[in-house]
Amino acid sequence: MSSEGGPVILSWHEASEALLAAARARGGRAVIGVTGAVAAGKSTLARALSPVVVSTDHYLPDYDVTPEHLRDLPESSDLARLARDLAELRAGRATRIPRWSFETHSRVGEQEVAPHEIVVVEGLHALHALPRAHVDIAVFVDAPRDARWARAVAREKAGDRPWPIEYLEHFFTTVAEPTFALHAERYRASAHFLVVNDGARHR
């Protein structure tokens, strides 16, 4: 397992089994970091890997005090706290993490997270330098833009994130996509595994 010669490429269907095998081969505890663009399949893969998943969404800023074009920037999220929280979990200690709501688009409290043999951190900036320092296995999920947009719309219609489709399209196109694109190559270069998710049913 090495990111120096490029990531190991995995299909979506083999990914969870291969990543779990890599984590267990390390011995002891492991933190798996999963990143990718919006609706690439990060959260679905994360849930297949561990019952303990820390989403970078919980470290987002309050939207009402953050200009729209800054909301998805890593500098706007509390990634320093995310790094500290991952360090605690990686050391086998319980920690409290923020709880962020897609209903209010703001932080609404905190929640206790217990340690586990495998902890997954997933989100747009899960492989940013701050949390990356506490990630043992780095994963980049790659998916075509059209497939991701279809998943994003399906997720919205299911009520996961209560935005009108028109605003979702605006945010997807003008904020989420260009912001992630600024960092995508750096995150990809630091990944041990590249998971190719071209199945429209996965998000």
% residues pLDDT > 70 (the chain): 95
Rounded Cα distance, 137 and 28, in Å:
13
Going from the N-terminus, what domains does the chain have, and what CATH number goes with each?
8-196 (3.40.50.300)
Report whether pLDDT(155) > 90.
no
Report whether pLDDT(203) > 50.
no
Report whether pLDDT(161) > 80.
no
Q: What is the pLDDT of residue 3?
A: 56
* 3-state secondary structure (DSSP) of residue 47: helix
Instruction: Please compute the mean of the pLDDT values over residues 49-72 and round it to a whole number.
Output: 96
Instruction: Please compute the mean of the pLDDT values over residues 50-61 and round it to a whole number.
Output: 97
Q: Which of 114-123, 142-151, 161-170 has the lowest mean pLDDT?
A: 161-170
pLDDT tier, 5 (very low <50, low <70, confident <90, very high otherwise)? confident
Q: Which of 36-45, 111-120, 131-140, 163-172 has the lowest mean pLDDT?
A: 163-172
Type of residue found at 150? A
Report whether pLDDT(2) > 70.
no
pTM of the model: 0.92
Query: 13 with 175: CB under 8 angstroms?
Result: no
Query: 48 with 16: CB under 8 angstroms?
Result: yes
How do beta strands 106-113 and 137-142 pair? unpaired
Rounded Cα distance, 159 and 177, in Å:
21
